[in-house]
Chain A
Amino acid sequence: MAGIMSDEAPQRPELRLVHPPPKARKPVVPNQVLGTIIFILTEAMLFSGFISAYAISKASVPVWPPAGQPRLPIETTAVNTVILLLSGALLWYAGRLYKDRPEAVRRPLLAAGGLGLLFVLGQGYEWVQLLAAGLTLQTSAHAGFFYLIVGVHGLHVLGGLGALLLQARKEMAGTMNADGFWAMRLFWYFVVLLWPLLYWQVYL
């Protein structure tokens, strides 16, 4: 009776979880990576438009490139192409290393960035030489396409290089995350793999 009239709060039975809480599921594709993929697809369409317009212009004239204009430096650009491909291969290697030995990523990452920078400098030097030789946007449709396509690709390389250097900085600070690194690698692979196609179309 005393128990019934007591002011004490009734004891609640202890609650126990029978099942463990559900694990938070990893996203199938991280947001950064998915965003980069969508961006790459839009950029692929942009370059496809350029290449298509180039192909039609090429088919419209009997002689391509037009006679009498400075010749594009096929050989030095071939070397530059190899440099960019090597940069992509090094980044791919860095990505492989990141899974097992993240501390070993720095060297191939910086080397890939260095080769990317070398490519941009090589292309810049080529442009200076061509402009000095008198090849400008106004020289011909071929020259216009050359500066447009190679220039837009160069801007993409610079953007990719910025992302690469940002990741390198994060790696040095110990704040690099797998998703950001993956997204950056994807963009760099796009820029690297696109170039041989552009080289084949524009230079050869």
Chain B
Amino acid sequence: MMWLWNGTALACAVCGGQDTEAVRQAFIDTTIFLSLLPLGAMGGVGIWIWRRSQQMELEEAREG
């Protein structure tokens, strides 16, 4: 929708507004959030796969 009607959808985050402390803080918060989220998500998935692998190996060893 934004791509097709970008002229009419007034939802650009950086095109206007006030340059205040609140905006500065919002930029810092969202930068931290967007930087850490992919790292956390990939790390979480990696740990989950590793733990699952360990668990499956244990089960296989138990079954013989």
Contacts and interface: CB of A to CB of B under 8 A. Distances in A.
B41 A44 contact: yes
Interface in B8-24: 8-14, 16-18, 20, 22-23
Interface residues of A, number: 32
Interface of B is mostly: helix
Counting chain B residues whose Cβ lies within 8 A of the other chain, the interface size class is 20 to 34
A28 to B, nearest CB: 5
B61 interface: no
Contacts, number: 88
Given A44-B37, A45-B37, A140-B10, A60 B17 contact: yes
A167 to B, nearest CB: 22
A148 B13 contact: no
Given A49-B34, A60-B17, A144 B10 contact: yes
A176 to B, nearest CB: 22
Contacts of B27: 56
A59 interface: yes
Contact of A53 (B5, B11, B16, B20): B11
Given A28-B56, A52-B30, A60-B17, A147 B10 contact: no
Interface of A: 25-26, 28-29, 37, 41, 44-45, 48-49, 51-62, 137-138, 140-141, 143-145, 147-148, 151
